[in-house]
Amino acid sequence: MKKLQNILLNTMSKKVLGLDIRYDSVSAVLVKNNIKENLIEAHEYVPISDQKDLESIMSYSLDIITKKMDIAGCVCIASFPANQISYRNIKLPFKEQKKIKQILPYELESTLPFLVDDLIIDYNSIKLQGRSGPVDSTDVIAAAVEKSALKLYLNTLASFNIKPKIVTVGGYPTALCLSSDTTVPENRLFVDMGNRNCSVFIHVAGQIYLIRSFLTGAAGSSIAESLCNEIKRTLYNSEEIFGFNLQPDEIFITGYNSDTVNYKQDMERILGISAKRTDLLSHTGFTRKNPALYWKSEQMDNALALALSEIEGFKVFNFHKGPFAAKNYWVEHKKSLIKTGILAGLVLALIFINVVLKTHSMEKKLAGLNNQITDIFKTTFPDVKNIVDPIQQMRVKLKEAQKSSMFSGETGKHTYAIDILKDISEFTPRDIDVNLTNLVVDMESVSIAGDTNRFNSVDDIKRGLEQSDLFNKVTISSANMNKSDNRVHFKLKVQL
- Mean pLDDT confidence for 427-452: 87
pLDDT in tens, 80-133: 999 999 999 998 888 888 888 888 998 898 888 888 899 999 999 988 876 555
| pLDDT value of residue 402 | 61
The rounded distance, in Å, linking the Cα atoms of 481 and 43 is 65
Q: Which of 390, 394, 408 is nearest to 446 (CA)?
A: 408
- Mean pLDDT confidence for 367-391: 79
Single-letter amino acid, residue 59: S
Among 64-73, 201-210, 267-276, 367-376, whose mean pLDDT is lowest? Answer: 367-376
CATH class of segment(s) 2-327:
alpha beta
Name residue 214's beta-bridge partners. Answer: 198
| pLDDT value of residue 60 | 93
Q: Which of 8, 39, 21 is nearest to 157 (CA)?
A: 21
Q: Does residue 318 carry a pLDDT above 80?
A: yes
Give me the phi and psi of 439, to 5 degrees please.
-145, 120
The rounded distance, in Å, linking the Cα atoms of 16 and 394 is 47
Domain limits of the chain?
Answer: 2-327, 335-402, 417-495
Report the C-alpha dihedral over residues 284, 289, 294, 296, rounded to 10 degrees: -10
Q: Which of 113, 108, 115 is nearest to 141 (CA)?
A: 108
The sheet with strand 75-80 has its strands ordered as 166-169, 75-80, 14-21, 25-33, 38-47, 287-288
pLDDT in tens, 155-171: 999 999 999 999 999 99
| pLDDT value of residue 2 | 42
pTM summary value: 0.64
Give me the phi and psi of 34, to 5 degrees please.
-145, 180
The rounded distance, in Å, linking the Cα atoms of 247 and 240 is 14
The single-letter DSSP state of residue 353 is H
Q: If one looks up domain 417-495 in CATH, what number appears?
A: 3.30.1360.100
The rounded distance, in Å, linking the Cα atoms of 169 and 20 is 9
Q: Does residue 322 carry a pLDDT above 50?
A: yes
The single-letter DSSP state of residue 453 is S
Highest mean pLDDT, choosing among 41-50, 156-165, 276-285, 394-403: 156-165
Angle at alpha carbon of residue 91, lines to 87 and 93, rounded to 5°: 145
Q: Does residue 339 carry a pLDDT above 80?
A: no
The rounded distance, in Å, linking the Cα atoms of 132 and 244 is 12
CB 452 within 8 A of CB 440: no
